[in-house]
Amino acid sequence: MKARSISLQGKARSKRGESASSHGGSRQTRMSSQDRRRQILEQAADFFAEYGLTAQTRGLAAACGISQRLLYRYFPTKDALLDEVYRTAIVGPFKAVWFAELADRRLPLEHRLLRFYKDYFSTIFTSRWLRLFMYSSLAEVGMAPNYTSAMILRLLETIVIEAGHEQNIAVPPNKDLQHEVGWTLHGALSHYAIRRHLYGFTQHVSEETVVSIHVTQFLGGFRAAVAACNTGSAQGVE
């Protein structure tokens, strides 16, 4: 991150110089307050995804082509800015309708899961979203835990309950066990997205094929996974 910070400072200085030379020292582009705020948030999501949440707002202001004073007119503190980035760039893309679609028993669960993850990959598992999420975890802010608690745990419970219903299997009443069973699918696909977008691996097999592999494996091994939960509970494993 230190090397990126040095690079960022250079880019910020270069951007200021280019702005001054190209506009002949003219004032910043005028926008409505709503448009300016939207521009700052969009740029902030890209900026923090690239340089991490510890990056200085001076660099962000330069990237936006505005002064740091103007930036703080819209977001008085960096924490306030990060809170809004979390709301719009991390939580914002999540679609509440996914819960209803996953619970729609008129369709086979395999079809529902394939449809859901196709949409989830195009909406959530993007390079920018994953980088923001990873940086928020490393920065010890509440973004990643809050998102997991508010969205993902409910998602895991829905998937597990639907799999149990379709296969006529009683799922563990313990929510923690339900989550662990659900993580065997969602966690594997999350790591695939990280490998693909952040590590640059797994480019030769199509996303559709990889999702299908994991969904098939999850549904095929669901009965054994639930049995393992029951075995662990009988042995006093919590």
pLDDT tens-digit series, residues 49-62: 999 999 999 999 99
Are 65 and 142 in the same domain? Answer: no
Domain boundary among 85, 116, 139: 85
Helices within 125-197 (DSSP H only):
127-138, 143-147, 153-167, 175-194
Please name the residue that has the structure tokens 């393992």.
228
63: containing domain? 2-85
**106 shares a domain with 148:** yes
User: What pLDDT was estimated at residue 26?
Assistant: 40
pLDDT tens digits, 219-229? 999 999 999 99
What is the pLDDT, as a whole number, of residue 27? 54
Is the CA virtual torsion 79, 151, 41, 37 positive or negative? Answer: negative
CATH number at residue 42: 1.10.10.60
The dihedral built from the CA positions of residue 161, 167, 172 and 173, taken in this order, carries a sign that is positive
93: which DSSP letter? T
Q: What are the Cα distances from residue 28, in Å, to 36, 45, 124?
A: 11, 21, 33
Token digits of residue 68 = 């740091």
Instruction: Say yes or no to pLDDT of 168 above 90.
Output: yes
- The verdict on 223 and 109 lying in the same domain is yes
Q: How far apart are CA 57 and CA 34, in angstroms?
A: 20
What span, in angstroms and rounded, lies between the C-alpha atoms of 137 and 152? Answer: 15
**pLDDT confidence of 213, banded at 50, 70, 90?**
very high
Choose one of 48, 68, 85: the last residue of a domain.
85
Contact 156, 186 (CB under 8 A): yes
Could you tell me the two tokens for 100? 């209803």
Distant-in-sequence contacts of 112-118, Cβ < 8 A, 24+ apart = 112/162, 113/159, 113/185, 113/215, 113/218, 113/219, 114/211, 114/212, 114/215, 117/189, 117/211, 117/215, 118/208, 118/211
- Local confidence band at 13 (pLDDT 50, 70, 90 cut-offs): very low
Residue 191 has pLDDT above 90, yes or no: yes
**How many domains, in total, are found in the chain?**
2
Same domain? 202 vs 170: yes
Q: What is the mean pLDDT of the chain?
A: 86
pLDDT category of residue 105 using cuts at 50, 70 and 90: very high
As a whole number, mean pLDDT of residues 20-42 equals: 71
pLDDT at 147: 87
Q: Does 77 lie in the same domain as 97? A: no
53-62, 140-149, 181-190: least confident range? 140-149
Q: What average pLDDT does range 76-103 have in this prediction?
A: 94
Indicate whether 26 and 110 sit together in one domain: no
Position 5 pLDDT exceeds 60: no
- Residue 69: predicted pLDDT: 93
Lowest mean pLDDT among 4-8, 78-82, 143-147, 204-208: 4-8
